[in-house]
Each structure stands twice: as structure tokens, then as C-alpha cells.
Amino acid sequence: MPSMVVLVAPDNGDVDEVVTRWHEAGAPAVTIIDSVGTRRPEEAPRGELPLLPSIRDLLQSDDAPRKTVFSVVPDEIVDALIQATEEVVGGRPDSGAGFLFVLPVARVVRLGHPA
């Protein structure tokens, strides 16, 4: 069964290296999406939210820009992708280096290609 490997990381230049390493490890295709994170309003420091916040105020992010990178790959190369990612971003001492997770993929349908 294939797996989807997903990385969410700061847009600090490491993503390009991760994508290169994923291709080298055997990922046939990699998708990169610009993304932002949000945090719960109660975690925001005092003074950051207006007295009567709107939904936009509550969901607006002050996080640095992030990239979400993912690829659907055979199970056999999942560990290689994780290792490649850790070699690029895993050595950072800060907790903001991002996170990676793996999901099982029950079915893949290639659109626009003959079956």
C-alpha cells in the first residue's frame, strides 16, 4: 500500500533541499504548497487580539510563512524520505523546524492518463 509523506516546515530555504533529497530517495513526484499556521486564541499573548475579535482576527496567523510538502510513495521508500528530511532539517535545535507525518493511502487514481 502506498503512503503519503507530508512535511510542514518554515519557508527558510530548507524545503528546496528536502525536495531534491526526496527525488534522490525515489519519490516520483513532490508537491509544494504555501501554507500558514494558526494558533488557538488563548495561546496568543495579551494585547494581540482586539477587544471584540472577528473570525479573521481569531484565525489570522502571525507565524512565519511555511511550506507543506507531500508525496505519495511506495512504503519501501518512506524511511528513506524521513531520513533525508531529518538530515536536512532534523538537526535544528529550535522547536520551529516543522514536523513530518505519514498516512496510508488506500487508493491512487491518476487523472488524465489511460488506465
Could you tell me the CATH number of the domain that includes residue 89?
3.30.70.1710
Tens of pLDDT, residue by residue over 47-104, are 555 666 666 555 555 556 889 999 999 999 999 999 999 999 876 666 677 899 999 9
- Please report the DSSP string for 6-61 in residue order: EEEEESSSHHHHHHHHHHHHT-S--EEEEE-----GGGSPTTSS-SS--HHHHH--
Q: pLDDT: is 114 or 89 the higher one?
A: 89
Number of domains in the chain: 1
Domain contains 111: no
Would you state the pLDDT for residue 95? 60
Domain contains 8: yes
